[in-house]
């Protein structure tokens, strides 16, 4: 089964053709990230205008690269939320039009849940998630834990009560002078150790929730404090980056392992942009529970995992009923 998947939840415009939920036949991504440096972040209206220009060329390129056509594909999958409403509308309306013209099934996709299905793409059969599993979605906008009873049955266990882990990385990067380079800049700049200590929010509470707003404030105060000292230099920036990364990853790993123990999980899988963080992966690999993570290229927003989700879990609906929902609940 070949699914044409479309993803436009944020600043990327992506289309992919996915075969049987596991094989990437094509995966095309256009991004407006170069503009973010100019504006100091994502401007929703600017992003959606760029997506309007490239949505059809991206879809055409994905079909051409897969040697497919609108008529030969079996179904269409599209992200309906969460995301930026203007961006979502572009992808949803394009998908609805294709479904109407071709009379193909249309499958709505929850972008947050779909991140976990990147673990099914281009993996050998022996690389199989063991159920029940704990799934951690960690990105710029979301930090959520799920109990995965099987490929279709997911239950939300907990999530951030305020800011996401990726947002804390982004804030720290700006404070340390890395602009909009985010967590990747923190990872590259992190030293091997630090005398600086930051809090680990909700690390020892009895819930599976996360909170990173207080950590962002603590990072701000520490940066101001260190900049006021005469010995503030690249070494100190490296120590700050190290401690930011350690604090965030400590919380993510501890909470996830707590959930795994509570629900007797046989494996752990992660997804989302922050899942690309090397230190986070190292800490999970040190645990005794089998750990699964997608290739780094499939952690950030792309249509490939949208197509995988649609194959394994999605159900087609009438194209008239689909609408973009920016705050689609992650509860399932």
Task: Write out the chain's pLDDT in tens, 332 residues.
Answer: 999 999 999 999 999 999 999 999 999 999 876 666 666 677 778 888 999 999 999 999 999 999 999 999 999 999 999 999 999 999 999 999 999 999 999 999 999 999 999 999 988 765 689 999 999 999 988 999 999 999 999 999 999 999 999 999 999 999 999 988 889 999 999 988 889 999 999 998 989 999 999 999 999 999 999 999 888 899 999 999 999 999 999 999 999 999 999 999 999 999 999 999 999 999 999 999 999 999 999 999 999 999 999 999 888 888 888 999 998 877 55
Identify the sign of the CA torsion 117, 208, 211, 290: negative
Same domain, residue pair 211 and 136: yes
Give the Å distances, CA to CA, from 125 to 129, 130, 290, 312: 10, 12, 15, 16
Residue 332 domain-assigned?
Answer: no
Between CA 64 and CA 225 the distance in angstroms is 55
Residue 123 domain-assigned?
Answer: no
Q: Using the 8-state DSSP alphabet, how is residue 116 labeled?
A: G
Same domain, residue pair 262 and 142: yes
pLDDT of residue 44: 75
Same domain, residue pair 21 and 87: yes
Total structural domains in the chain?
2
Residue 329 domain-assigned?
Answer: no
pLDDT of residue 40: 65
Same domain, residue pair 26 and 134: no
Q: Is residue 145 within 8 Å of 208, Cβ to Cβ?
A: yes
Burial of 91 (0-12, 13-18, 19+ CB in 10 A): buried
Same domain, residue pair 137 and 280: yes
Residue 328 domain-assigned?
Answer: no
Q: Where is 268: in which H helix or E strand?
A: strand 267-271
Phi (first) and psi of residue 6, to 5 degrees: -130, 130
Q: Is residue 50 within 8 Å of 286, Cβ to Cβ?
A: no
Q: Is residue 144 within 8 Å of 137, Cβ to Cβ?
A: yes
Same domain, residue pair 199 and 94: no
Same domain, residue pair 153 and 283: yes
Which residue range is the domain that position 233 belongs to?
129-294
Return the closest-CA partner of residue 136 out of 330, 308, 310, 309.
330
Return the axis-axis angle of helices 182-189 and 165-175, rounded to nearest 10°.
70
Residue 222 domain-assigned?
Answer: yes
CATH number at residue 198: 3.30.420.40
Between CA 122 and CA 196 the distance in angstroms is 41
For residue 14, list its beta bridge partners: 7, 29
Residue 330 domain-assigned?
Answer: no
Same domain, residue pair 273 and 177: yes
Residue 202 domain-assigned?
Answer: yes
pLDDT of residue 328: 84
Same domain, residue pair 218 and 283: yes
pLDDT of residue 298: 96
Tell me which residue has tokens 């922050």: 274
Residue 135 domain-assigned?
Answer: yes
Same domain, residue pair 93 and 7: yes
pTM of the entire predicted model: 0.94
pLDDT of residue 331: 59
Residue 277 in tokens: 């963080």
For residue 147, list its beta bridge partners: 134, 155
Same domain, residue pair 204 and 81: no
Same domain, residue pair 35 and 81: yes
Identify the sign of the CA torsion 122, 68, 96, 313: negative
Identify the sign of the CA torsion 151, 18, 277, 13: negative
């Amino acid at each position: 089964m070949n699914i044409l998947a479309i993803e436009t939840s944020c600043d990327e415009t992506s289309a992919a053709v996915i075969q049987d939920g596991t094989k990437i036949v094509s995966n095309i991504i256009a991004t407006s990230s170069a503009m973010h440096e100019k504006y100091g972040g994502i401007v929703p209206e600017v992003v959606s205008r760029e997506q309007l220009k490239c949505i059809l060329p991206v879809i055409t390129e994905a079909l051409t690269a897969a040697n497919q056509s609108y008529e030969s594909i079996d179904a269409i999958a599209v992200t309906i939320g969460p995301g930026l409403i203007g961006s979502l509308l572009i992808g949803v309306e394009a998908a609805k039009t294709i479904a109407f013209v071709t009379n193909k099934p249309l499958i709505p996709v929850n972008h947050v849940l779909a991140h976990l299905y990147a673990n099914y793409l281009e993996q050998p059969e022996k690389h199989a998630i063991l159920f029940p599993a704990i799934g951690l979605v960690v990105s710029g906008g979301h930090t959520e834990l799920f109990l995965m009873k099987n490929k279709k049955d997911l239950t939300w266990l907990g999530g951030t009560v305020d800011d996401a882990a990726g947002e804390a990385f982004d804030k720290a990067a700006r404070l340390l002078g890395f602009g909009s380079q985010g967590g990747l800049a923190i990872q590259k700049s992190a030293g091997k150790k630090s005398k600086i200590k930051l809090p680990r929010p909700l690390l020892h509470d009895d819930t599976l929730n996360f909170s990173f707003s207080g950590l962002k404030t603590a990072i701000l105060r520490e940066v101001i404090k260190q900049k006021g000292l005469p010995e503030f230099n690249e070494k100190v920036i490296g120590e700050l980056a190290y401690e930011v990364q350690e604090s965030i990853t400590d919380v993510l790993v501890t909470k996830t392992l707590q959930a795994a123990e509570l629900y007797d999980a046989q494996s752990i899988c992660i997804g989302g942009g922050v899942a690309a963080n090397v230190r986070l992966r190292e800490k999970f690999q040190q645990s005794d529970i089998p750990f699964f993570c997608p290739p780094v290229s499939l952690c950030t927003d792309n249509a490939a995992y949208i197509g995988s989700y649609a194959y394994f879990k999605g159900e087609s609906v009438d194209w008239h009923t689909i609408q973009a929902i920016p705050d689609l609940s992650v509860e399932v």
